[in-house]
Structure 1
Amino acid sequence: MNTATKTKHIGRNISRIRELRGMKQEALAQAIGISQQSVSNIEGSETVDEDKLKAIAEVLGVSTEAIKNYSDEIVFNIIGNTYHDNSSSLNYSCTFNPVDKIVQLYDEKIALYERMLREKDEMMARLEKLLNK
């Protein structure tokens, strides 16, 4: 039985990585200086010119090898092995006391208002002095 190796579809890999990055075709096209239709054509082709592949890889923040060897299965394995849902545990430890922070911000606000009032009073005194001359 002859088992042929499955060829990688580079365009599809580019599309998947772009989508995982939350990037639209228009944004990728603009970043590499081509039209959106050209990006669509690239994503539809099995092979991509090495220079274009390098430019696309740079914009997507991955290596050309990552694009060539991309696999949804590998991505899901990585996510499955590294993502931990801690919503059931209430071990949230804040590094500061939120109430203290609110009090600090309130004190800063009061100090700012007092400074503004002093400056207003000084300005009014200067204006009155100019008017009395």
Structure 2
Amino acid sequence: LASEMGLSQALISTYEQRKVLNDDVIEHFAKALNVAPELIKELEEDPVTVIIENNTFEKGSGAAYYNVINNNPDPVDRLIELSNEKTALYERILELEKEKNALLEKLLRNEK
């Protein structure tokens, strides 16, 4: 990163230890990382909460990236929802089978 920005590693380290960076420095880092400055400004203290798989972000794409992360549904809730849908489908199939059997019985009675 230091060589990409044309700075020394020591200067990068001092920037890392600061709590607040001015906008010019943030823009310089964003340009070197090929990300939107807003993405850097919105980063949280805990680096585990941010996962960047590649550096293909474009201007304005940081917000969409965060929406993807924050809108993950609870897997257990999703499993319960899918189970309920499956049960409803089986109940509907059972109803249709009963209707089909009733029609077949009616046809058999009419043939006799």
TM-score with structure 1 setting the length: 0.34
Higher relative contact order (CA 8 A, sep 6+): 1
